[in-house]
Structure 1
Amino acid sequence: MKKLIIALFLGFSAILSAQNSVTGKITDTKNQPIIGVSVYAPELHKGTATDENGKYTLSNIPTGNVKLTFAFTGLATQNKTINVLKKENIIEIILEETVLHMDEVIVSTAFNKIQSQNVMKVEHSTIKELQQKGTSTLIEGLATIPGVSQVSTGTSIGKPVIRGLSGNRVLVYSQGVRLENQQFGDEHGLGLNDAGIESVEVIKGPASLLYGSDALGGVLYFNPEKFANAGTFTTNFSQKFFSNTLGSNSSLGLKTSTENWKFLARGSFNTHSDYKIANGDRVTNTRYQEADFKTGIGYSNSKFSSVFRYNYNDLDLGIPEEGIAEQTTNNKSEYPKQGVFNHLLSLNNVFFFEKSKLDVDLGYISNDRSEFEDSNIAVLHMKLNTFNYDAKYHFPQLGKFESIVGIQGMLQTNANSGEEYLIPDATTNDFGVFGTGNYEWKSNVIQAGLRFDNRKITTTAHGILGEEGSFEAIDKSYDSFNASLGYKTNLGKDLSLRLNVASGFRAPNLAELTSNGVHEGTNRYEIGNSNLKTEQNVQSDLNLEYKSSHVEFFVNGFYNHINNYIYTSPNGEIIDDNAVFDYIQNNAKLFGGEIGLHFHPHPLDWLHYETSFETVTGKKQSRSFGSDYLPLIPANNWNNTIRSEFNTKKWLEGGYATLNVSTTLNQKNTSGFETKSNGYTLVNLGLGGKIKLGKTVFDINLNGNNLLNKSYIAHLSRLKTDGIPNIGRNIILGLNFNI
């Protein structure tokens, strides 16, 4: 009976899959077939690999325009958009050698173009590339991307900063869903583990057209791990060790796919003791433990593709209030500490019509956050539940013109059950509608869009008005119209120019509207303002990019003007030995950019030199404050890397060695209550590659970060006010086995 059921199931799948197919042969420039080329259809979440003859077949392909990616290590990735008009379609590909960066498909923008065709400059990096730098956390890796930095609390908590904007001004997407996890608080981390994440895309600038409120400063878009190729079953185990924190990071995953169905699961565990500074002392209670589980199941045929994913994250971390006190290598957090449980569920669907398609994404996030002072009874306990929906209809393409209309929305509730209230019980409703178009002619592309949003916030009264921790009920509604216009052109064979102008907005968050008490970790008594207006900005971006066989060069410049910028300012009062800060508004401006060079000299095919410089300045614009600087603006940074690549025929493939020198300059442009910061230089080394010992094959990387054990304090460290340095020398060993 069991065999009969399986036979019927496979037969039913075969009937469904008897649709369009794409076949072909992939060769190199010498017309030799290439074995093992990855052929992937992103919209279908399915792929295959070429056989010993370089041939491949992808079945269940929908009618109309379909994007395919052809990738192989050491060869230039090709991305093709094909027009499937018949049941059998033949696509032959020739892959050429490459020594520079791949031209990746960008998922976070509306039309999913490859980077060279994209109107907006988007930074793309794989998690593997970030991990090869030896970073211990996901946010630490992101901070190595030009224009991105972090507000950190030791090694356990990091919040992304994009060109001087952070918190609710930077939107984070995971599994196609906006991540909501009390991100307004500086002491709240990102809540994501890098296990089971394929890559990250960074939009540096207002992206409210596509994402609504809170994308005023930019977007971090995390692409989840891909499913296995059809007809395969794979398992993977990775292990990392960290000398400084005596830490360990273990991850085990498996995935399998048939022609229609696909499944994956990955579990990981991360544990670290207190981090050690350059003089050998450990910073008390910066230890943490994290458990993470991700799974997904998908189905696709020629009519639709559907993927359900689930991510559970359990984070237990200490709150460092004593500075350098008790010295221990214990990895179990002490009081005070935080406990965070996060559930993220997503359902991503694509419905294919003859010449158009409909994307529908649904998401649910349950964030449970507790803070414990001296016992296992939570003094602060917040449950934030968020439901998101996002629907985009892609109209049939008219020549070189593409267009999309969409709606987005969010329903969010916050509930308190602890004795202390940081923000009140509240309900937030978002609704947005937008349209955008993309037109190409010759080497030019122009893209424009328009959007309307509404956000409603309703809170419940709590406590006795006038006393700490009390809130009065509010009922607010915020509207905003936003637009974007972008243009890209090729000034020459290898030279491109991008110019973008876009507006963005951010409605005030609950902390800014309602705060009434001491904010943990800041030693400030904060008072909210229910009359705050919506932040509204206009940013212009200019990108000049040169790419040839041996040289890449880019210059990014931006100017960002923000009306009604919200920030805290001391009012001169003292309550219980804490200075009182009010939430106020003034216009602000931020400007700066990034410049970079990647040089690969011929005939030294094994040598790469990369250098980049990033700068941002943020100022308030008001009569009362003159040209006072904005808080939490990262210091200028100059980053240099020399990388060599090598192979041995017998036991090493894709070997590399890197020397990185990162120089952070002095930060003297500080706001009224910030302290200035001294510059520092860190030296980092890396070695790695794929080891082949008989039938055993594994990836290895060995990194030495802050190799000279430099004592320094980052400007955006929240431990800076206590004079506590950042982490000292850290040796990281990473192993990755595909079983």
Structure 2
Amino acid sequence: MKNIIFGLLLLAAGNIYSQNSIKGTVVNDENNQPVIGATVQVIKPERNTITDLTGKFIIENLSDGSYDLVISSLGFGTRTIKIEIPLDQDLVINLSPTAIEMEEVIISTPFHQLQSENVMKVERVTMEGLQRTGGNRITDGITQIAGVETVTTGSSIGKPVIRGLSSNRVLVYAQGVRLENQQFGDEHGLGLSSSGIESVEVIKGPASLLYGSDALGGVLYLNPERFAPADSTVVDGETSYYSNTEGFEANAGVKTSGDKLKFIFRGNFASHVDYETGDGERVTNTRFTEYDFKTGLGFRNNSYKGDLRYNLNSNTSGIPEEIGLQSTSRTKLEPYQQVANHILSFDNSFYFEESSLDVKLGYLFNNRKEFEEAHHEEETGEEHEEHENEEEGPALEMHLSTLNYDVKYHFPDRGKFETIIGLQGMFQSNKNLAEEILIPDATTTDVGILGTTHYHLEKVDFQAGLRYDFRRISAEAYENHEAETEVAALDRNFNSYNGALGVKVDLTSRFTGRLNLASGFRAPNLAELTSYGSHHGTNRFEIGNSALDNEQNYQLDLALEFRNEHFEIFTNAFYNTIKNYIFLDPTGEFMNEDPVFEYQQNDAELYGGEAGIHIHPHPLDWLHFESNYELVIGKQENGEYLPLIPAQSVLNTFWVELPENDIFKEGYASLSLKSVFEQNRTGYFESETSGYSLLNAGLGTSVILDRALLDFRITGTNLLNKTYISHLSRLKPEGIPNMGRNIILSAGIRF
């Protein structure tokens, strides 16, 4: 091990003896005028600067070799160019004006390209953009992306659904490491706050090649906020009020950077009472409180980049069961859950003369507690009271510890080829500390080996890869005291080979097509293999199946996109076949007054797609109209429909960028209407859901005050106070509607 580290240091040190600089000018392609404030970024090693008043820039201390430059500026199309250092002369880079939003580098794919250059289509949205339309929580905001929805339990709990697949079939990445927090259960949230998250990337479709098991349906990749630019300090704060839940949220952060060292810290606190439906009734025990802390330390030089980050998220949420007690109290009301999520990540990149090595390490600790009913609600006349007994210990407590590792070596470019090999895996243990047991004490060991390559031609790009995964699950025997039944110990091995092949073709300068074929897999989780007992969060008695096999799928994607200076139009179609799809099947029996469900397997298929248009007529670049449509149909081999498949929907959004002056900047106004069709393609134990439409609006601006920016934002969701029930609401069986009208007032300051 010492020899390996010593060798890496020698390779890195070899770069310091041949230092160069990149000098150049960025100009407007139409009039040859300088572009002021354009960002010029070197991808590896990560370095960036901005152009001065004459459009010039310089990036120093770079070794000999090949580099990718990304040049971007608001109002211009983003460009990527490849250069060889040392340079014979200064660069002159032309940017073309455009109304299309500025592109960013995609992080969730291994070659870190712009979306327009990616063979695999990846959706990317900023948290700022989501918040403008009321998506203050991650799981609310991502529903604005075509093909992405959320399974919800009240206002605080949500899990992403990508093209009809959710729970363990969608992998979530935070701080560059896979999130492990008992995600088999849909009755608790992600364990993450939107505070301190800069953008969200979504891979729709199997991504097992890059991420292994549990990425069978796709990946939700959350990018943390960046450090401050070199030699600068940024301080900001914001507070928000939510009318529906009488909620408030406070958020503050500070980040400072020198030439090499960087530091960041952010804290967030939120508190909400029970939400109110469109009928004016509050849904009992949907109150929640959350606090979140994030901090990070970074180091950059010419041969190394390191990011050490830590996140603590603690959420106390009620478990709703009915519309009963009408209260605006914030006091904990049982049953409720407390979930603490710790994420420690260390992201390292070593840059050699022509290659690089990425090493990501993560340690995650999830402490999940559930408290059963010890509070009693009494009704006397018109008065309601909450009586709180002395709190007992949790009925359920699970500690999940996970160590993740992800190592990727980027080979030197060979002509038009880029190649990566990688090793990924995790060591995980689950331990129960209370009487109630959902899943047993167990350990999981994961290891995966992958290789992928990208081949670039002038108008055609190919990408292909192969991967092998091995997973071992060992679980101890346990006894269900209520049913007086002992569940046997388990020791199972799972493995799978997977691959991906894709092509992107620039059919014309404005018309692009992508065709991707990929396979994915998912090993059954502990709940599916070993459950035996009442799950109070879902009001079911669940029985696992220790003989379950891997889920294995194959998905074909076709994506077409046309864009010009006036509009963009896209259409995506997919067909996804899944072998050994795992699902809960009702037996018709009851145990402990709960209906009994058993885990079964059957082949299944999902198909559908998304289509949309974005109009931004030139020269009215401040005016935008967007419309997105999504459709998913999921069936078992026997013809029965799959459960929890989102209904068809159309999202129409009209927004304008308000004029800027010496006082006001970054102003906007938006109006959106989401129309959800009725869902009559239902699973065996589901009921049909009526259609509905939700009207949302937003208005915001920033005010320049000396050296500070004051931010003001007002957002309204469900403005018509519609009473409706989402097909993906876990409160639907009880006939409980979703949230009614909600007005969000936000004010912040930035230095």
Q: Report the CA distance between 1:468 and its aligned residue.
A: 5.3
Alpha-carbon contact 1:684-1:706 (below 8 Å) kept: yes
Q: Report the CA distance between 1:728 and its aligned residue.
A: 0.5
Partner of 1:224: 224
Deviates more, 1:668-677 or 1:65-74: 65-74
Structure-to-structure mapping, 1:406-485, within 5 angstroms: 406-463=422-479, 467=483, 470-485=486-501
Residue 715 of structure 2, aligned match among 692, 698, 703: 703
Partner of 1:604: 620
Partner of 1:253: 253
1:82-102 Cα deviation digits (max 9, x unpaired): 33347x984443444321233
Change (3 A) 1:84 1:126: farther
Partners of 2:328 and 2:98 in 1: CA distance: 46
Partner of 2:536: 520
Q: Report the CA distance between 1:35 and its aligned residue.
A: 4.2
Partners of 1:20 and 1:502 in 2: CA distance: 42
Matched, 1:510 2:526: yes
1:648-690 Cα deviation digits (max 9, x unpaired): 4242223221110110000000011011100000111111222
Deviates more, 1:639-648 or 1:589-598: 639-648
Q: Report the CA distance between 1:701 and its aligned residue.
A: 2.0
Change (3 A) 1:146 1:243: same
1:541-590 Cα deviation digits (max 9, x unpaired): 00001011111000000000000000011123221222211101000000
1:499-536 Cα deviation digits (max 9, x unpaired): 00000000000000000011223222110000000000
Alpha-carbon contact 2:610-2:630 (below 8 Å) kept: yes
Matched, 1:547 2:563: yes
User: What SS class does the counterpart of residue 479 from structure 2 fall into?
Assistant: coil
Matched, 1:531 2:543: no
Matched, 1:557 2:569: no
Deviates more, 1:298-307 or 1:671-680: 298-307
Change (3 A) 1:311 1:197: same
Change (3 A) 1:559 1:650: same
Change (3 A) 1:82 1:267: farther
Partner of 2:172: 172
Paired AA for residue 265 in structure 2: A
Change (3 A) 1:277 1:469: farther
Residue 404 of structure 1, aligned match among 415, 420, 424: 420
TM-score norm. by structure 1 comes to 0.94
Partner of 2:150: 150
Alpha-carbon contact 1:17-1:60 (below 8 Å) kept: no
Paired AA for residue 732 in structure 1: I
Paired AA for residue 580 in structure 1: V
Partner of 1:69: 70
Paired AA for residue 479 in structure 1: N
Alpha-carbon contact 1:43-1:305 (below 8 Å) kept: no
Partners of 2:613 and 2:672 in 1: CA distance: 14
Partners of 1:255 and 1:34 in 2: CA distance: 28
TM-score norm. by structure 2 comes to 0.92
Partners of 1:63 and 1:298 in 2: CA distance: 25
Identity of aligned residues (%): 51
User: What SS class does the counterpart of residue 144 from structure 2 fall into?
Assistant: coil
Partner of 2:406: 390
Residue 587 of structure 2, aligned match among 571, 590, 593: 571
Paired AA for residue 336 in structure 1: P
Partners of 1:598 and 1:405 in 2: CA distance: 38
Change (3 A) 1:289 1:465: closer
Matched, 1:98 2:98: yes
Q: Report the CA distance between 1:26 and its aligned residue.
A: 3.3
Change (3 A) 1:402 1:44: closer
Matched, 1:720 2:732: yes
Partner of 2:124: 124
Q: Report the CA distance between 1:402 and its aligned residue.
A: 1.2
Q: Report the CA distance between 1:346 and its aligned residue.
A: 0.7
Partner of 1:676: 688
Alpha-carbon contact 1:288-1:332 (below 8 Å) kept: no
Partner of 2:379: none
Partner of 1:349: 348
Partners of 2:55 and 2:307 in 1: CA distance: 29
Change (3 A) 1:330 1:427: same
Alpha-carbon contact 2:45-2:351 (below 8 Å) kept: no
Partners of 1:186 and 1:258 in 2: CA distance: 43
Partners of 1:376 and 1:410 in 2: CA distance: 35
Paired AA for residue 109 in structure 1: T
Q: Report the CA distance between 1:314 and its aligned residue.
A: 1.0
Partner of 1:327: 326
1:358-413 Cα deviation digits (max 9, x unpaired): 11111110011101113341110000000011111111111111111111111000
Partners of 2:401 and 2:237 in 1: CA distance: 33
Partner of 1:663: 675
Partners of 1:627 and 1:20 in 2: CA distance: 65
Alpha-carbon contact 2:708-2:750 (below 8 Å) kept: no
Change (3 A) 1:156 1:352: same
Alpha-carbon contact 2:164-2:646 (below 8 Å) kept: yes
Matched, 1:48 2:64: no
User: What SS class does the counterpart of residue 210 from structure 2 fall into?
Assistant: helix
Change (3 A) 1:464 1:685: closer
Structure-to-structure mapping, 1:15-30, within 5 angstroms: 19-29=19-29, 30=31
Alpha-carbon contact 1:64-1:356 (below 8 Å) kept: no
1:137-166 Cα deviation digits (max 9, x unpaired): 111001111100000011100000000000
Partners of 2:416 and 2:694 in 1: CA distance: 49
User: What SS class does the counterpart of residue 658 from structure 2 fall into?
Assistant: strand
Q: Report the CA distance between 1:695 and its aligned residue.
A: 4.7
RMSD across aligned positions (CA): 2.1
Deviates more, 1:15-24 or 1:135-144: 15-24
Partner of 1:10: none
User: What SS class does the counterpart of residue 725 from structure 1 fall into?
Assistant: coil
Q: Report the CA distance between 1:699 and its aligned residue.
A: 2.7
User: What SS class does the counterpart of residue 542 from structure 1 fall into?
Assistant: strand
Which runs of no fewer than 5 residues in structure 1 stay unpaired?
Answer: 1-12
Alpha-carbon contact 2:534-2:592 (below 8 Å) kept: no
Deviates more, 1:424-433 or 1:303-312: 303-312
User: What SS class does the counterpart of residue 312 from structure 2 fall into?
Assistant: strand
Partner of 2:83: 82
Residue 634 of structure 1, aligned match among 616, 623, 646: 646
Partners of 1:487 and 1:469 in 2: CA distance: 54
Partner of 1:211: 211
Partner of 1:366: 365
Which runs of no fewer than 5 residues in structure 2 stay unpaired?
Answer: 1-12, 375-390
Q: Report the CA distance between 1:61 and its aligned residue.
A: 3.6
Partners of 1:596 and 1:379 in 2: CA distance: 48
Deviates more, 1:462-471 or 1:537-546: 462-471
Partner of 1:58: 59
Change (3 A) 1:422 1:225: same
Partners of 1:68 and 1:50 in 2: CA distance: 14
Paired AA for residue 439 in structure 1: Y
Alpha-carbon contact 2:136-2:194 (below 8 Å) kept: no
Change (3 A) 1:731 1:474: same
Alpha-carbon contact 2:713-2:745 (below 8 Å) kept: yes
1:425-479 Cα deviation digits (max 9, x unpaired): 0000001101111111220011111111000000011127993574311000001
Deviates more, 1:609-618 or 1:726-735: 726-735
Partners of 1:733 and 1:223 in 2: CA distance: 25
Partners of 2:407 and 2:476 in 1: CA distance: 31
Partners of 1:634 and 1:317 in 2: CA distance: 25
Paired AA for residue 730 in structure 2: R
Alpha-carbon contact 2:99-2:618 (below 8 Å) kept: no
1:618-656 Cα deviation digits (max 9, x unpaired): 0000xxxx3000010000001111112221424222322
Partners of 2:216 and 2:194 in 1: CA distance: 25
User: What SS class does the counterpart of residue 463 from structure 1 fall into?
Assistant: strand
Alpha-carbon contact 2:74-2:102 (below 8 Å) kept: no
Partner of 2:293: 293
